[in-house]
Amino acid sequence: MEELSAAEAGAETAPGAAPGDPDAAVIATRALTKRYRGGQLAVDGLDLTVPAGSVFGFLGPNGSGKTTTIRMLMGLIAPTSGAARVLGRPMPRASRTVLPQVGALIEGPALYGFLSGRDNLLRLDSADPTADPRTRRARVAAALDRVGLTAAGGKKAKAYSLGMKQRLGLAAALLQPRRLLVLDEPTNGLDPQGMREIRSLVRELASDGTTVFLSSHLLDEIEQVCTHAAVMAQGRLITQGAVADLAAGARGRLVVTTPDVTDAARALKEQGVADVVVEDGRVTGEPPDRELGEVNAALVAAGVRVRGFGVERASLEDAFVALTGEGFDVAG
């Protein structure tokens, strides 16, 4: 496998690097490619850079190659070609030194239903040869507390809701201090309350400096919790960067709030506004190149009662549509 040079991979993450450098890459891949035996090209020439300290959203419709990428990053499968570095070390070669510093939640946590949440964690901790048995109970108690499961710690895991199981999985990933957390679709299958809990937990974990890499097929989830994102479609990287910059790359929508939607739509079209859409109590369209004050004045002159007028910030979805020319189709 071809290796990245230290500079390309973010040399700052190598041993001896200045800690806390926001530009340092915790994950860096170059031309990472996976073709499965059946011939399916699941990941195609991926160049990914995950800055230290970021909450990095790995976004893409189902089947776009997210899980395959994560499995390569974690050394679970070998790439067909290309290279991946995690915490500055090549994967899968450096798995033994890298993986103890990475907490992963991939394809649901492996739990024993007949054991309590606490006993599951005790069992996992005792399977870790580096974990000191004398501090085991305290470590498990701290991990349960971290994910808000102290009260439910004595309950059998099979009685846990899906959200509680995910939280227990996160607690397992947090038994040891981690530099990186890798979470594959952590809110998949959860109800809205469970999703909120996991999202706030992710924010909390990130606030103490842990880099979090999470995959999701939910655009709004990425916008809510992530500082950075990469967007995948059909195995290829569409774009990556700070979430604010990604959305800013797309133009926002002109939004007019008014009870007179029909008149407003007509006046906007006359003013050169394209893609005019009438909704309940508001009309939206592509902002025209001309002075927006003139557009507003034209609306008023046409007798439209304008209650709100402005350009709404573009969402990540707008950016995705602008980049691919397609809607963000969750079903892939």
Ligand X SMILES: Nc1ncnc2c1ncn2[C@@H]1O[C@H](COP(=O)(O)OP(=O)(O)OP(=O)(O)O)[C@@H](O)[C@H]1O
Q: Return the residues of window 211-230 that contact ligand X according to CB under 6 A.
A: 217
What CA–CA distance (Å, rounded) separates 309 from 294?
Answer: 12
Of 48 and 265, nearer to ligand X (C-beta) is 48
Q: How far is the CB of 166 from ligand X (least distance, A)?
A: 16
Q: Is the separation of the CB atoms in 223 and 216 below 8 Å?
A: no
Q: Which C-beta is closer to ligand X: that of 68 or that of 258?
A: 68
- Using the minimum distance from each CB to ligand X, give the nearer residue, 60 or 75: 60
Q: How far is the CB of 47 from ligand X (least distance, A)?
A: 17
List of long-range contacts for 240-245, beta carbons under 8 Å, 24+ apart: 240/48, 240/49, 243/57, 243/316
Cβ nearer to ligand X, comparing 64 with 120: 64
Q: Which residues of 249-276 are buried (b: 16+ CB within 10 A; e: fewer)?
A: ebebbbbbbbebbebbbebbeebebeeb
With CB under 6 A as the contact rule, the residue among 64, 166, 210, 239 that binds ligand X is 64
Q: Is 42 in the site for ligand X (CB under 6 A)?
A: yes
Minimum Å gap between C-beta 72 and ligand X is 10
Residue 78 engages ligand X in binding (rule: CB under 6 A)? no
Q: Is 107 in the site for ligand X (CB under 6 A)?
A: no
How far apart are alpha carbons 163 and 183 in whole angstroms?
14
Using a CB cutoff of 8 Å and minimum separation of 24, what contacts does 32-39 make?
32/69, 32/72, 32/79, 32/82, 32/83, 32/84, 33/79, 33/80, 33/81, 33/82, 34/65, 34/68, 34/69, 34/72, 34/77, 34/79, 34/80, 35/80
Instruction: Give whichever of 62 and 126 is closer to ligand X, judged by the CB atom.
Output: 62
Q: Does 40 bind ligand X (CB under 6 A)?
A: yes
Applying CB under 6 A, among 68, 166, 187, 240 the residue interacting with ligand X is 68
Quick one: which segment of 37-45, 163-171, 174-182, 306-314 binds ligand X (CB under 6 A)? 37-45
Binding region for ligand X (CB under 6 A): 36, 38, 40, 42, 60, 62-68, 217
